[in-house]
Amino acid sequence: MTDSAQPILPGATIGFLGGGQLGRMTAFAARSMGYDIQVLDPEAACATRPVASRTITAKFDDVDAAVALASECDVVTLEIEQIHPDVLDAVAARTALRPGRAPVYIIQDRIRQKQWLKAQGFPLGNFVAAQQASDIADAVREFGPCIAKSTHGGYDGRGQVRLSTTEQGIDAWTALGARECLVEQKVDIHYELSVLVARTAAGAVAVYPPSRNHHTSGVLTWAVVPAVISDDMVARAQTLARNVAERIGIVGLLAVECFVTTSGELLVNELAPRPHNTYHHSERGFATSQFEQLVRAICGLPLGATDVHAPSAIANLLGDVWLQDTPPDFTHALNVTGSRVHLYGKHGAKAGRKMGHLSAVGHDAQDALGRVLESYRRLSPGTIASFDVHEPVLAHITS
Ligand code: ATP
Ligand code: MG
């Protein structure tokens, strides 16, 4: 309906499309600020339920359910981009939808997102949209090793197939459901960064310092700030992310995932129009957490400061932690000075499922990362050994 810049003040109700851990942590922040919370999620026992006054159990293509949510909320946001466009339209017709339909629509399809970024002139690795198995094989012939990705619904490295020979094209095509997919050249990554940007409907923007991130088999293992990279790269990454956020017209948060290649190029990997796993350390190390910042941005309040108060790091806790022979040792883990445990209240640990994270603050980035990984080692030595989590010497990465 309206996209007025009029502030939505504490006491109002915020609706969430999606009730996973991102919704839950944003809801905690919103509650602290005096907002009421309602949530729509396909799972009745979703992670946000304990923080919400009302939980609507419905799929993300259920227009009637979305209308029921919108009719009681002053503003609706989302924590997952796979929301049916009809639902986005129905919500936007009744209340403020932030972010709006346009950026979500662009981002929710990997091919559409890449093509948009390319059309805007943002730096990307090579990619093609494959319409048939032979297109995947052709991409490998042209680019060498590639990663084929499903257009919708992939996360944490799911819906992706890595391939290095043309013969693997058919298997990749079949594994991704024999439908249109994105094929990217495998980038020679020196390191990975993300930059989080907040923007209000009135156009105020706050850019966080880049986070340095490490993935194992396509899943985020740890993230740390400051990134311990050159001032020049910090400035380049922040400018890039700000430009993308302004161009796409985000209202709320936009996370820009980036690769820095071995030849020093800065490339966009992908975008997320919501809070991001790589900024969970913002609850510990920043003047304003990403969750509070999202609330401020969608409610048209002044954006909070994005300075790093304390170097901070997180390590993800996947379901694997609970599937070891020995249960997680929280007491031992929390004996690491500066560490904290965050659990999402999810039922049913499965291998690879995000169940929580550990965080730590330290004297510098290396110290914070060392502490969080030490806490992890104490919590679940078996998991950390099987994931082969390495601890880099951050100070050596200056390009
Ligand atoms: P997430 O949900 O964690 O953001 P995702 O499932 O959306 O992950 P991507 O961000 O596309 O997947 O990929 C996850 C990780 O896999 C990247 O952070 C990177 O480590 C690796 N990766 C993805 N694409 C490429 C590429 N083209 N070249 C090299 N590595 C890649
Ligand atoms: Mg990603």
Kindly report the CATH number assigned to the domain that includes residue 80.
3.40.50.20
> What CATH code is carried by the domain that includes residue 329?
3.30.470.20
Nearest CA to ligand 1 atom 3: 156
**Ligand 1 lined by 187 (C-beta under 6 Å):** yes
CA of 210 to the centre of ligand 2 (A): 15
**Vertex 395 angle, CA 392 and 399, to 5°:** 100
Distance, CA of 397 to CA of 80 (rounded, Å): 33
Whether residue 176 lies inside any domain: the answer is yes
> In a mutational test of the pocket of ligand 1, which residue from 215, 256, 265 has the highest number of ligand atoms less than 8 Å from its CB?
215
Residue 164 shares a structural domain with residue 303: no
CA of 6 to the centre of ligand 2 (A): 33
Residue 79 shares a structural domain with residue 147: no
Asked if the model's pLDDT at residue 1 lies above 50, the reply is no
Residue 180 shares a structural domain with residue 195: no
Residue 148 shares a structural domain with residue 179: yes
Whether residue 108 lies inside any domain: the answer is no
Residue 224 shares a structural domain with residue 355: yes
3-state DSSP call for residue 101? helix
Cα-based distances in Å from 26 to 66, 73, 79, 91, 294? 19, 16, 9, 20, 7
Asked if the model's pLDDT at residue 325 lies above 70, the reply is yes
Q: Please state the rounded mean pLDDT for residues 202-212.
A: 98
Q: What is the pLDDT of residues 263-300, one digit of tens each?
A: 999 999 999 999 999 999 999 999 999 999 999 999 99
Q: What residues make up the domain containing 231?
A: 189-383
Whether residue 245 lies inside any domain: the answer is yes
Q: Please state the rounded mean pLDDT for residues 334-340.
A: 98
Q: Are strands 211-216 and 205-207 parallel, antiparallel or unpaired?
A: unpaired
**Ligand 1 lined by 215 (C-beta under 6 Å):** yes
pTM (predicted TM-score): 0.96
pLDDT at 389: 65
Nearest CA to ligand 1 atom 15: 218
Distance, CA of 152 to CA of 176 (rounded, Å): 10
Q: What is the pLDDT of residues 297-324, one digit of tens each?
A: 999 999 999 999 999 999 999 999 999 9
pLDDT at 390: 65
**Domain tally, the chain:** 3
Whether residue 332 lies inside any domain: the answer is yes
Nearest CA to ligand 1 atom 14: 218
Residue 246 shares a structural domain with residue 376: yes
Q: What is the pLDDT of residues 14-29, one digit of tens each?
A: 999 999 999 999 999 9
In the Cβ-directed half-sphere of 227, how many Cα atoms lie within 13 Å?
A: 27
CA of 5 to the centre of ligand 1 (A): 35
CA 399 to chain centre: 25
Whether residue 7 lies inside any domain: the answer is no
Residue 204 shares a structural domain with residue 139: no
**Ligand 1 lined by 125 (C-beta under 6 Å):** yes
Residue 211 shares a structural domain with residue 330: yes
Nearest CA to ligand 1 atom 22: 218
pLDDT at 156: 76
**Token digits of residue 13:** 């109700």
> In a mutational test of the pocket of ligand 1, which residue from 269, 270, 314, 357 has the highest number of ligand atoms less than 8 Å from its CB?
269
- Could you give the dihedral angle defined by the CA atoms of residues 142, 143, 147 and 153, in that order, rounded to the nearest 10 degrees? -70
> What CATH code is carried by the domain that includes residue 152?
3.30.1490.20
